[in-house]
Amino acid sequence: MTIRLGGIIFGLVLVGILMIWSFVPDTLKYSTPVKQPYYAFHEDKLKPAGGFSFDGLGGTWDNQQLQRGYQVYKEVCKSCHSLKFVAFRNLAELGYSEEEVRAEAASWDVPGLNEYGEANLRPAEPTDYFPSPYPNEIAARAANNNALPPDLSLITKARPDGSNYVYSLMQGYVEPTAEDLAKAKELGGGTEWETPTGLYFNEHFYNANIAMPPQLYPDLITYADGTEATPEQMAQDIAAFLTWTAEPSLVARKQTGWFVIGFLLFGTALGFLSYKQIWADKKAKKKAA
Amino acid sequence: MSFPWANQYEPKSDFTKWIDQKLPLPRLIYDAVGGGYPVPRNLNYMWNFGFLAGLFLMIQIITGVVLAMHYASDATVAFGSVEHIMRNVNYGWMLRYAHANGASFFFIVIYAHIFRGLYYSSYKAPREMIWLLGVVIFLLMMATAFMGYVLPWGQMSFWGAKVITGLFGAIPFIGEPLQIWLVGGYAPNGATLSRFFSLHFLLPFVILGVVILHIWALHIPGSSNPTGVEVKSESDTLPFYPYFVAKDGWFLGLVLAIYAAFVFFAPNVLGHPDNYIEANPLSTPAHIVPEWYFLPFYAILRAFTGDLVIPFTSVVIAPAKLLGVIGMFGSILVWFFLPWLDKSPVRSGSYRPLFNKFFWVLVLTMAVLTFCGGAPAEQPYILISQIATAYYFLHFLVILPIVSQIEVPKPLPFSITEAVLGKGADETVAKPAVTDTPSSDGDLPGGALQPAE
């Protein structure tokens, strides 16, 4: 009884304080965060027509596409972005033969030591990981107007809806529409939206001002398989490749999933039947209405 | 400790007889989760979650021990070692996803288990100790899960750790030195990571120990049941094996299939993308959120946005942060007092018309708090979580005691057998072991047959 009475009194006092807070001015000091003007530009992400081959419950890799995406990475992205969790040996999963992987690795230079123990560059082995374009973060920032190009190994998992995010971001360098600018002005308390010098407007970047310049132009690269290199195509290919780098086990995972769930459901069905059998005479008989 | 009609363990072979004399472990298991444990026959599927919780604890321990073989708790390599598990360890991705989603499912199962206890008042006498131990397990689980989420050393790991350990800094006077001592520095760092790893490895075994106490305490009065009427005679119960093993078993398969659907088809939906960015003390994420299972409590923490001052002056009695911390811990600590706050003699919410309505309002409040905890710290979410927080405390501290005082419960069935098989079944199925009629004010615990120790 004491606890109940104490509880009631304590609870009423607590709720009373909360009420006073809400109704007596100045008792409650609200800090209301203002909505930033860049909220005006958050557009829905673009999705490639027909989606990605790895989408859905039975998704598979499109090795041709992954190889094209690797080519985009090698010819465009790698000049600024590292891929530190991926090794050259992993390229075998894209359908390259062992010799091709070896040759591909050898076309990259990685930091090594010469016979005197001095730092040098040597051709990569399949066991090496992709080298970073910069020796360290300071060098990377110095070369990029103080922005740090993120490592791309996990980028599609590090952003919501990552595959579509990369696909959208690569194509997000557009002119802001008049309505969006008006909305941004309203959110910003009347200040005109302005993209700072050295940054680029990208409607899919979280604050719409990205440090990375637009990258994809028509026929920027010549695909080894003859596919036409439109920006849309390249964006799709690099998004697919970076989905693979973020999760090489994605397809194996889904395929294993079917087997595991099938096995569990089979076991569940057997378990349910034995449950019915065991309980048969313990349940109430349904009364005839 | 069981009912007088419980089956007795009878070793058959010479070997089992020999074991039974030297170390009666098979007998203990038989009496705990075998044919020797009589269980009310009317349990519904909400009673499956205790068994499931034990199973998910085992899944977490097994996957966790294997993951620990490949993980390195050093701040410079921790993030990379998790990627090493994902990419280079055979089926490492499966182990890690099973462990991460296993934590989520452990909490889903535990929340179902707790809310079953709240609805059917499983915390009432004679089962207070089971409930109290259960709250202890829940607190230990929260600590374990929080520290586990820090281990991948991603952005959310780091900033989540910073926010949560920062809460200790709100304690007056000793807060700051205490926080520095707990964290091993001014902000989470390598020392924090290795001590969290050590504790994250230790605490599950502490949980296992308290689980054993929880089950021990359960076996003294026996399981509760959906009518809340105590067991009176043999016809009220069925042995755990095979009846409840079969029932738990097939339901377990179903839950594991749903769990597998998450592990294999949507392993990251319950996590946060920012945790795939390596921890960076110099870059704060736009919006720090804990794991989904902490969201209701996080919403209560954030509901306290203002310092408490004496009205019309600027004398601060308690800063907002301290109030939030008190609110958050208080929201769980209040569960410890439940057995004494709710004094209605009727246990089951199904026979309590008024309580029933408030129970579902509480469930709704928890859902609202979960939503607000995940929403950005902006209006109207702050105001909504403030109202929900106030209601949360009102429910436990004011509504429950008053409702249990004024409510007129519905008539209870005479016995579990009657509830299952209909009136008059008691006479035809078996003679009741006790012939006393329930007293007028419902089914007082003392009126029921207590199992022999």
Per residue in B191-222, pLDDT tens?
999 999 999 999 999 999 999 999 999 999 99
With contacts defined as CB-CB under 8 Å, which chain B residues touch A36?
A: none
Alpha carbon of A254: minimum distance to chain B alpha carbons (Å): 6
Per residue in B7-24, pLDDT tens?
999 999 999 999 999 999
B424 touches chain A (CB under 8 A): no
B415 touches chain A (CB under 8 A): no
Per-residue model confidence (pLDDT) at position B100:
96
CA separation for the pair B349, B120 (Å, rounded) = 5
DSSP B40: E
Task: Spell B281-292 as b/e; 16+ CB within 10 A means b.
Answer: eeeebeebbbbb
Alpha carbon of A229: minimum distance to chain B alpha carbons (Å): 30
- Outline where B276-424 has alpha helix (H): 295-303, 320-333, 338-341, 353-374, 381-394, 400-406, 416-421
**How does the average pLDDT of chain B come out, rounded?**
89
Catalytic position from the list B200, B247, B272, B395: B247
Task: Spell B173-184 as b/e; 16+ CB within 10 A means b.
Answer: eebeeebeeebb
DSSP states of B295-317 as a string? HHHHHHHHH--S-EE-TTS--EE
DSSP states of B190-247 as a string? HHHHHHHHHHHHHHHHHHHHHHHHHHHHHHTT----TT-PPP-SGGGEEEIIIIIHHH
Catalytic position from the list B81, B223, B224, B344: B223
Catalytic position from the list B291, B418, B426, B443: B291
Per residue in A138-161, pLDDT tens?
999 999 989 999 999 999 999 999
Cβ within 8 Å, pair A24-B311: yes
For the ranges A110-114, B135-139, B320-324, the maximum mean pLDDT occurs at B135-139
Alpha carbon of B21: minimum distance to chain A alpha carbons (Å): 32
Nearest CB among A150, A256, A284 relative to B421 is that of: A284
How is residue B26 written in tokens? 């098979």
Per residue in B274-313, pLDDT tens?
999 999 998 898 888 899 999 999 999 988 887 777 767 7
Per-residue model confidence (pLDDT) at position B371:
94
- Percent helix, strand and coil across chain B, each to the nearest 5: 65, 5, 30
| A230 vs B439, more confident | A230
Question: Residue B104 in contact with residue B270, Cβ under 8 Å?
Answer: yes
CA separation for the pair B145, B64 (Å, rounded) = 12
B274 catalytic residue (yes or no):
no
B80 touches chain A (CB under 8 A): yes
Collapsed DSSP state (helix, strand, coil) of residue A176? coil
Q: Could you tell me which of B375, B187, B186, B379 has the C-alpha nearest to residue B280?
A: B187
CB under 8 Å to B421, separation ≥6 — which residues? A284, B429
CB under 8 Å to A269, separation ≥6 — which residues? none
Percent of chain B exceeding pLDDT 70 equals 93
By C-alpha distance, the chain A residue nearest B336 is A3
Residues 165-194 of B with CB under 8 A from A: none
Cβ within 8 Å, pair A154-B83: yes
With contacts defined as CB-CB under 8 Å, which chain A residues touch B390?
A: 14-15, 18-19
Alpha carbon of B36: minimum distance to chain A alpha carbons (Å): 17
Nearest CB among A15, A247, A278 relative to B390 is that of: A15
Per-residue model confidence (pLDDT) at position A42:
74
Q: How many CB atoms lie within 10 A of CB B361?
A: 12
Per-residue model confidence (pLDDT) at position A16:
79
Percent of chain A exceeding pLDDT 70 equals 92
Whole-number CA gyration radius for chain B: 25
Alpha carbon of B18: minimum distance to chain A alpha carbons (Å): 32
Q: Could you tell me which of B351, B334, B329, B327 has the C-alpha nearest to residue B401?
A: B334
CA separation for the pair B81, B194 (Å, rounded) = 14
B219 catalytic residue (yes or no):
yes
Cβ within 8 Å, pair B386-A18: yes
With contacts defined as CB-CB under 8 Å, which chain B residues touch A26?
A: 309, 311-312
pTM: 0.90
What are the φ/ψ torsions at residue B106 (nearest 5 degrees)?
Answer: -60, -45
| B384 vs B93, more confident | B93
Average pLDDT, integer, range B362-370: 96
B232 catalytic residue (yes or no):
no
Assess whether pLDDT exceeds 50 at residue B449.
no
Question: Residue B264 in contact with residue A256, Cβ under 8 Å?
Answer: yes
Give me the helix-helix angle, A250-279 and B92-119, nearest 10°: 40
Cβ within 8 Å, pair B343-A282: no
Using pLDDT thresholds of 50, 70 and 90, give the confidence band for residue B273. very high
Cα atoms in the Cβ-side hemisphere of radius 13 Å centred on A95? 11
Per-residue model confidence (pLDDT) at position A284:
66
How is residue A207 written in tokens? 């604050």
Cβ within 8 Å, pair A10-B397: yes
Average pLDDT, integer, range A229-246: 95
